[in-house]
Structure 1
Amino acid sequence: MSQLPGIFLNVLAPVFLLVLLGYITGPRLQLEARTLSRFAYFILTPAFVFYILSQTRIEAGLAGRMIGFITVVYLGSIVIAFLVARLLRRSAKMTAAYVMIAAFGNVGNFGLPIIQFAEGQVALGVATVYFLANLVLAFIVCVGAANFSRGFSLGMAAQVFRTPALLALPPALLFNWLNISLPPVVMRPLELLSGALIPTMLVVLGAQLAAAGIPRINADLLIASAIRLISGPVLAFATVGWFALPQLERNVGILQASMPTAVLVSIIAMENELLPEFVTATVLFSNLVSIISLAIVLVLL
């Protein structure tokens, strides 16, 4: 536990300070969080994915084990969320909200910068593989859960494969596999854009949290948040040995499994009119209290 002050100061505080910056300046400067988030989503994220993965060397078998690990952990959290909601006899909508909150970790906004500070720049490529794996799973599960009461549509689930981050994945892997080096006139703009992703996402997260307001604490909020923040790291530590991951991939995977709920979950809930106030409040609460749970995970690592 003697490491805790250093972890707070050197790993978590820089991340939360940028979120706080967005929280304070967003309303005062009238920052358009939606515009900034769309800029990050459609431009910065695919640039980041291409730039990082086109240069990261990860053996195919190892990548498969990493994807299997993060998928097993998040599926486990989803099952726990569903069973808890059913045992509590929650409505179909509230059950779907529990599942969405458990399915989508904040592996981008929080995961990437925390892992960069904790494990170094070399860990970003590994963290991006986990980020993309959770993105695919979470979008499919969240879209399915949000439309649970109205019938599931394969067309809606297929939307995930048209997201900008995933569209950048095939060319990145192709350039990596063929060991193709793009000229500086192409790579340097991509490097600048990818470098802007993390600070932009953190400031946008702060502005989005400011717009959401102070969450109203209730039993469902506490239970859903606890499932996301506790089941993730517990399942990760319990199952990581099954996948024979090297130390770096192990640590990064456990951290990505321990992230609070992604802000995108509240957007999906709003778009589908699925208890948006509850989901947004839970997203805000889980991100705020994750400073404690993430510090514990970092100490254990």
Structure 2
Amino acid sequence: MNEFIFIFNSIILPIGIIVATGYVIQLKLRLDRSTLAKLSIHYVMPAFIFMSLYESSIDFSLLLNVMLFLILYAFLSFILCRLIARFMNIGKDRTVLFTNANLFYNAGNYGVPVNDLVFRSDPYAMSIQVMLVVFQNMFAFSYGIFSLSAKNVGRTKALLSYFRMPIFYGLALGLIFNYFHLPVPAPIETALEYIRNAMIGLVLFILGAQIAGIKFKRLRWSAFVGALARLVIGPALALVMLMLFNMEGVVAQVILIASAMPAGVNSSIIAQEYSDDPEYAAEIVMMSTLLSSVTVSSVIYIALAIF
């Protein structure tokens, strides 16, 4: 119990304070959330991803295995969510939203700060987390849009637009500079380091502001189940898979902790544009985020104890 309280106080509570600050300031000042999101996507995250990959000791075969693991994890999560939705007799549109909220967890705005605090800014642990972030972003804005926009046009354009985003080039250049041991000029490296240091506080603030912009009038039982599925079934599935694949150490810890993250705001944003019932996705995001303070602390404890 003492270790659980320590994890909550030293990791979850500081994150909650910054998220709550962003939430309150957004309610008071009505900041432009679109601009805040662009600031994260086009300024902070690319530099953070590049520097995290550039400075880490990357085993490229291991990273390939991690990506294959994530694909299988997403596939099995999809099947489980569809079975749960079918058992609960959820409508077709809400079944897609229920599934997406479980597939697209908050590996970035929430997961990255948790990783940074748990592993004390370890570049190796963060390089694994970066791969999770990239996978989640590509997955959300490819399958996430395809799954909801069958009646719309421009899906290919939406998918291809990801490859014009700075985050993609931060990933690609970070891997290239690392693999070929290319030096970064000192002034540029210093500038990128300053930007990276601003990332944690900024993305958590933005997360709070984004949550403040999510509106819903009720909480449906199936949405509550969706939140629990994301927070409990998600990490339980990851734990079983990690044991079956004999993965261990920091890699297993990072993946298990990341699998416990709440539903990503991306699932709600995509639903607002492509779904007839975006409020349902918002319910799952809000409930999973609120409950995650307890469940994430528990999964961190389990990950560090088992692996």
- Determine if the TM-score, normalized by the shorter chain, exceeds 0.5: yes
| Residue among 211, 232, 237 paired with 1:230 | 232
- Aligned positions of 1:275-294 closer than 5 A: 275-294=277-296
Q: Is the 8 A contact 2:81 2:98 kept in 1?
A: yes
Q: 1:95 & 1:213 partners in 2: Cα distance? A: 20
Unmatched segments (≥5 aa) in structure 1: none
CA offset digits 1:12-61 (Å, max 9, x no partner): 10111100111122222332222111110111111111111122221111
Q: Would the aligned equivalents of 1:46 and 1:165 in 2 still touch at CA under 8 Å?
A: yes
Letter in 1 for 2:5: P
Tell me the equivalent position of 1:135.
137
Matches within 5 A, 1:171-250: 171-213=173-215, 216-250=218-252
Q: Deviations over 1:243-286 (max 9, x none)?
A: 34341111001111111111111111112134211212221111
Post-superposition offset of 1:152: 9.8
Task: Tell me which amino acid in the other structure corresponds to 1:82.
Answer: R
Three-state SS of the structure 2 residue aligned to 1:3 is helix
CA root-mean-square deviation: 2.0
Shift of 1:151: 8.6
Gaps in structure 2 of 5+ consecutive residues: none
TM-score by length of 1: 0.93
Q: What amino acid sits opposite 1:33 in the alignment?
A: R
User: Contact 2:93–2:275 at 8 Å: present in 1 too?
Assistant: no
Q: Is the 8 A contact 2:242 2:248 kept in 1?
A: no
Contact 1:80 1:227 in 2 (8 A): no
How many residue pairs align between the two structures? 301
The alignment-based identity, stated in percent, is 25
Whether the aligned pair in 1 keeps the contact of 2:140 and 2:266 (CA below 8 Å) is: no
Q: Is the 8 A contact 1:106 1:260 kept in 2?
A: yes
1:274 and 1:168 map into 2 onto residues whose CA distance is 35
The alpha-carbon deviation at position 150 of structure 1 amounts to 5.5
Structure 1 counterpart of 2:21: 21
Q: Tell me which residue corresponds to 1:69.
A: 69
Cα distance, 1:69 vs structure 2: 2.2
Cα contact 2:215–2:282 (8 A) shared by 1? no
Map residues 82-101 of structure 1 onto 2, 5 A cutoff.
Answer: 82-101=82-101
More off after superposition, 186-195 vs 247-256: 186-195
- For residues 59 and 217 of structure 2, the distance between their equivalents in structure 1, rounded to whole angstroms, comes to 44
Q: Secondary structure at the match of 1:167?
A: helix
Aligned residue number for residue 119 of structure 1: 119
Contact 1:46 / 1:164 at 8 angstroms: preserved in 2? yes
Distance 2:170 2:178 in 1: 12
Structure 1 residues 238, 259: closer, same or farther in 2, change over 3 A?
A: same
Q: Give the residue type in structure 2 aligned to 1:22.
A: G
Q: Which amino acid aligns with 2:291?
A: V
Separation (CA, whole Å) in 2 of partners of 1:69 and 1:218: 32
Q: Indicate the larger mover: 22-31 or 261-270.
A: 22-31
Find out whether 1:266 has 2:294 as its counterpart: no
